[in-house]
């Protein structure tokens, strides 16, 4: 069965199968924003479950720029031993682990109390929830250069810690994705305008990271196939970016879609009537496969083995799963004996898409917390309960984060 066949990557390393644990925002950092014991146990469970590749949740390149208060940060080597433990646990059963590197740009909660940077000074449009995110300041040339340097530094530290590679996050409306979007990027200098200008930051980051790490260390990119906003980053833009990435020696391109403003990555614009709708970015991937020189990975709603087989039969090299592995961390091993297994969360039927997206994310995080403590998942958890619990946890984490940043500022 192709699902359990090896995949040789362009850098020469081999993945034991075609199943990947896609990134989820675990929010399980310790007080120093390093990997906690809970986070390390969580990845140990996925490693034991037989997945071929694990891509971490957001690891931030700057502690001043966070997607959430409980995020892991890798910007200097002080806590590198914690990262070594994380990588060792994930690699213990033959799979690989890649660190996802990210900067939130304007998608940083205002409750964190930090200045917000973005390509342009344009606020998030989330209707009644827009105030949850501060108006950003347009980045200077020096700040853009610093971001490139930080991606490089974090990638080099990830290699030192024993990770097999890094994934540069340029999707889901975060900073690199904001530069790609004509809606978020209104710059008139060399970092905006045409798709070549809007893609410049991503291309410069990839070039610099590839040059700084060893040839056998994987460098991957996560890219939106589209952001599903009128006038935004389009499928045509995505095709152009893939052609720009082709000569840069990346080892994998993961395709997803959406942003906080249009949360397609949560699957809220799909239904479950057909297998094709379950892998809801597959159609875009098939189009981009015509021009992509690197292996492709598709993530988005996959939870059934026949869908994985459909994805792989289309020419995509890897099937990425997130929610399914939050419910059943040993799903790859289960599928060998029980191919009909298809874990799923209780559906969120709320009309408000922003709230429904938040509830879905809270339900996933509820599963991750349980798994990290050695418990079984609870896929029938109430969306309202999970959301309220997550909001309370978030408020506590926000307070601790602000206190920590004040202490660091006082010590500087």
**How does pLDDT run across 7-43, given as a tens digit for each residue?**
999 999 999 999 999 999 999 999 999 999 999 999 9
Pairing of strands 19-21, 59-60: unpaired
Of 8, 73, 54, nearest in space to 167 by CA: 54
Extract the runs of DSSP E, i.e. beta strands, from 346-406. none
> What pLDDT does residue 265 have?
47
Of 6, 31, 110, 126, nearest in space to 66 by CA: 110
Which of 114-128, 191-205, 224-238 bottoms out in mean pLDDT, i.e. has the lowest? 224-238
pLDDT for 132 beyond 60: yes
> What pLDDT does residue 271 have?
35
**How does pLDDT run across 388-402, given as a tens digit for each residue?**
999 999 999 999 999
Q: Domain for residue 135, yes or no?
A: yes
Q: What 8-state DSSP symbol labels residue 380? A: T
H/E stretch holding 137: strand 137-138
Lookup result for tokens 């390390």: 40
Q: How many CB atoms lie within 10 A of CB 391?
A: 12
Mean of the pLDDT values across residues 60-81? 94
Mean of the pLDDT values across residues 107-136? 92
Q: Domain for residue 330, yes or no?
A: yes
Q: How far is CA 355 from the centre of its chain?
A: 20
Of 209, 229, 231, nearest in space to 219 by CA: 209
Mean of the pLDDT values across residues 300-322? 92
Taking the C-alpha atoms of residue 205 and residue 149, their distance in angstroms, rounded to an integer, is 8
> Residue 152 maps to which CATH number?
3.20.20.70
pLDDT for 129 beyond 90: no
First to last CA, the chain: 56
Residues above pLDDT 70, as percent of the chain = 92
**How does pLDDT run across 210-231, given as a tens digit for each residue?**
999 999 999 999 998 766 667 7
Taking the C-alpha atoms of residue 15 and residue 118, their distance in angstroms, rounded to an integer, is 36
Distance of CA 20 to CAs 48, 300, 377, Å?
A: 13, 12, 19
Q: Could you give the number of structural domains in the chain?
A: 1
> What pLDDT does residue 218 have?
98
Domain span at 191: 2-343
Computed over every residue of the chain, the mean pLDDT equals: 91
CB 260 within 8 A of CB 356: no
Q: Domain for residue 204, yes or no?
A: yes
Q: Domain for residue 318, yes or no?
A: yes
pTM across the whole model? 0.93
> What pLDDT does residue 267 have?
44
Q: Domain for residue 96, yes or no?
A: yes
Q: Domain for residue 357, yes or no?
A: no
Taking the C-alpha atoms of residue 221 and residue 260, their distance in angstroms, rounded to an integer, is 19
Q: Domain for residue 372, yes or no?
A: no
**How does pLDDT run across 169-191, given as a tens digit for each residue?**
999 999 999 999 999 999 999 99
For every residue of 152-206, DSSP letters joined together read: HHHHHHHHHTT-SEEEEEE-TTSHHHHHH-TTT----STTSSSHHHHTHHHHHHH
Q: Domain for residue 179, yes or no?
A: yes
Of 327, 345, 335, nearest in space to 306 by CA: 335
Query: What pairs with residue 100 in β-bridges?
Result: 167
CB 236 within 8 A of CB 227: no
The SS3 of residue 407 is helix
């Amino acid at each position: 069965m192709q699902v359990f066949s090896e995949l040789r990557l362009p850098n020469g390393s081999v993945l034991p199968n075609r199943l990947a644990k896609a990134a989820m925002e675990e929010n399980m950092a310790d007080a120093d924003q390093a990997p906690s014991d809970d986070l390390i146990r969580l990845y140990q469970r996925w490693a034991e479950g037989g997945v071929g590749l694990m891509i971490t949740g957001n690891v931030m390149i700057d502690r001043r720029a966070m997607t959430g208060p409980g995020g892991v940060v890798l910007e200097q080597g002080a806590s590198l031993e914690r990262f070594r433990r994380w990588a060792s646990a994930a690699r213990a059963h033959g799979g690989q682990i890649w660190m996802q590197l990210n900067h939130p740009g304007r998608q940083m909660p205002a409750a964190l109390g930090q200045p917000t940077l973005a390509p342009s000074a344009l606020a998030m449009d989330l209707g009644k929830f827009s105030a949850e995110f501060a108006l950003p300041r347009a980045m200077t040339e020096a700040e853009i250069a610093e971001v490139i340097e930080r991606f490089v530094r974090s990638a080099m530290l990830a290699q030192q810690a024993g990770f097999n590679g890094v994934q540069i996050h340029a999707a889901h409306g975060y900073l690199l994705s904001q530069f790609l979007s004509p809606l978020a990027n209104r710059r008139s200098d060399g970092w905006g305008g045409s798709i070549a200008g809007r893609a410049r930051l991503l291309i410069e980051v990839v070039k610099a990271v590839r040059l700084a790490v060893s040839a056998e260390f994987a460098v991957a990119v996560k890219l939106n196939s589209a952001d599903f906003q009128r006038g935004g980053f389009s499928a045509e833009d995505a095709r152009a970016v893939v052609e720009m990435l082709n000569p840069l020696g990346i080892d994998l391109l993961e395709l997803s879609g959406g942003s906080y403003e249009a949360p397609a990555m949560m699957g809220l614009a799909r239904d479950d009537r057909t297998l094709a709708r379950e892998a809801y970015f597959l159609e875009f991937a098939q189009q981009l496969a015509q021009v992509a020189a690197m292996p492709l990975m598709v993530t988005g709603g996959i939870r059934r083995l026949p869908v994985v087989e459909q994805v792989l039969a289309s020419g995509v090299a890897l099937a990425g799963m997130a929610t399914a592995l939050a419910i059943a961390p040993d799903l790859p091993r289960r599928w060998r004996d029980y191919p009909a297994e298809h874990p799923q969360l209780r559906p969120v039927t709320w009309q408000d898409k922003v709230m429904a997206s938040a509830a879905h994310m809270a339900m996933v995080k509820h599963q991750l917390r349980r798994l990290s403590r050695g418990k079984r998942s609870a896929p029938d958890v109430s969306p309202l309960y999970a959301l309220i619990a997550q909001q309370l946890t978030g408020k506590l984490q926000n307070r601790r984060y602000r206190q920590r940043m004040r202490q660091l500022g006082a010590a500087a």
